[in-house]
Structure 1
């Protein structure tokens, strides 16, 4: 099953997004990672790498990020990890929910889950 990692500059935001996505995720592995490791705002490549490895069960991991430097640090983490992982170019909350639903499909692939996360860019709220 494809795993999911939510990366936010805020630990609380990452935890909240995962809490919401988990409602739709079934047995999908979801990991939240955020903050600078010392209670502040930021992201840390080593922590992201650990979350990627924890979310993987062999089918890869889709990573959702909130802001620019989270992308950079997630890229570094993916390079450091042996896990096949991709970053979804998606709004983090809506993308995480879409990805969680997609990951429950027994035929889900890394690409299909990422594509569903990215489809969230088209969701209109009004």
Structure 2
């Protein structure tokens, strides 16, 4: 069985992270590891280096990880975590709309696509117009 690319959702809000995870997993058929690093260790709004690092490790089954931040310090903290990884090619930080990018990444990863393809699918979600 082929290992799929994992997805990490980095959000300031535990509720937002959990909700996007639930939606993406439902639409992706539950075949992809989706980890959430949302809020701080005490459940407050914010971001946490430690939670992001743990989520990257949790989601990585060997095919790499796409990291999707919601905004602001989620980007900065995720960059710091990725800079400290043992394998720089292990994870890629992707600029994508949070909900649409997560769904696109999970659905694409569920097909067995490679890390670069999953990251590109998330980026292309910028082109998904609602009307």
SS at match of 1:77: helix
Structure 2 gap segments, 5+ residues each = none
**Which residue matches 1:86?**
92
Aligned partners of 1:116 and 1:12: how far apart in 2?
24
TM-score if structure 2 supplies the norm length?
0.91
* Contact 1:5–1:62, Cα closer than 8 Å, also in 2: yes
CA shift at 1:45, angstroms?
Answer: 1.0
CA shift at 1:77, angstroms?
Answer: 1.2
Aligned partners of 1:4 and 1:25: how far apart in 2?
12
* Contact 1:3–1:30, Cα closer than 8 Å, also in 2: yes
Q: CA RMSD in A?
A: 1.1
Structure 1 gap segments, 5+ residues each = none
* Match runs of 1:11-90 below 5 Å: 11-26=14-29, 27-82=31-86, 84-90=90-96
Aligned partners of 2:46 and 2:129: how far apart in 1?
29
Q: Which of 8, 13, 25 is the equivalent residue of 2:11?
A: 8
TM-score if structure 1 supplies the norm length?
0.94
Aligned partners of 2:50 and 2:105: how far apart in 1?
23
Any runs of at least 4 consecutive aligned residues in structure 1 with deviations exceeding 4 A, and if so which? none
